[in-house]
Homo-oligomer: A and B are copies of this chain.
């Protein structure tokens, strides 16, 4: 790891758990695909490898997005916000779906009439994604 690489991570205001939220957005359509978390190592790997690497809070380990589904995210740009506590990734979503439900985006429910209503189609059965 280089000094320069350490610099850009030092700028970030990590949570008490040492994480930062990272929003993945389709670099062409602007569709927000998902939000996940990164630790310093996953951010470093994302910058080095050019694919999105998150920190899985539930599994407590590095999570190369797409490692089981094949739906990797090619990272075109990494942005930081004014408070230095949120990251945006502009990505190319392999397979056209980011969500484990087989949808393009994890944000497939809209608030209508006081209820969360599913408005986006399943593109591929999760059984066929993770088999």
Binding site for B on A (CB under 8 A): 2, 4-5, 7-8, 11, 21, 23, 25, 29-32, 34-35, 47, 77-83, 86, 88, 99-101, 103, 106-111, 113-116
Chain B residue numbers with a CB within 8 Å of A23 are: 23, 32, 35
A4, B115: Cα distance in complex, Å = 7
- Do residues A35 and B81 form an inter-chain contact, with CB atoms below 8 A? yes
Chain B residue numbers with a CB within 8 Å of A32 are: 23, 25, 32, 88
Chain B residue numbers with a CB within 8 Å of A77 are: 110-111
One complex includes copies of this chain to the number of: 2
- Do residues B101 and A7 form an inter-chain contact, with CB atoms below 8 A? no
With A32-B25, A35-B86 in contact, do A111 and B4 touch (Cβ < 8 Å)?
A: no
- Do residues B86 and A8 form an inter-chain contact, with CB atoms below 8 A? no
Question: Closest CB of chain B to A84's CB: distance in Å?
Answer: 8
Output the nearest chain B residue to A31 by Cβ-Cβ distance: B30
A21, B106: Cα distance in complex, Å = 14
Question: Closest CB of chain B to A26's CB: distance in Å?
Answer: 8
| Chain B CB within 10 Å, residue with most, of A4, A25, A83, A107 | A107
- Do residues B111 and A78 form an inter-chain contact, with CB atoms below 8 A? yes
- Do residues B82 and A106 form an inter-chain contact, with CB atoms below 8 A? yes
